[in-house]
Amino acid sequence: MRQRTLVPATTLARVERAPTRDDVDALVGPATPHFAYQLRARVRELVADLPAEDDVRRYAEEQIVRLDRLGHASSKADEGPRESPARLGWDEIPSSAPADDPLPR
């Protein structure tokens, strides 16, 4: 039987290419308020070497703003209707702010 040798991930060569919108979306798509700032930092790092006028960089900057808003919110609220603030128990929810209307800083 052939013995397998594990290679640490740090020694594997990374393929270097220009980031794409799909790369940005892969980072931003699963974002939650809890991880918004970590993802924002990764998106910034991803596009840091792109020129300011690059389409992917401009798209990433829009998503960075979105992640910043999400970090101050309790949910993305991207899908489905919003709950009415008149709903029973609403005033007991610590943070009910959606990403497009975050709590004041």
pLDDT for res 81: 66
Spatial CA neighbour of 61 closest among 80, 81, 16, 53: 53
Q: Does pLDDT of 20 surpass 90?
A: yes
pTM as predicted: 0.61
Q: Does pLDDT of 14 surpass 60?
A: no
* Full DSSP string of 19-34: --HHHHHHHHTT--GG
Q: Does pLDDT of 55 surpass 80?
A: yes
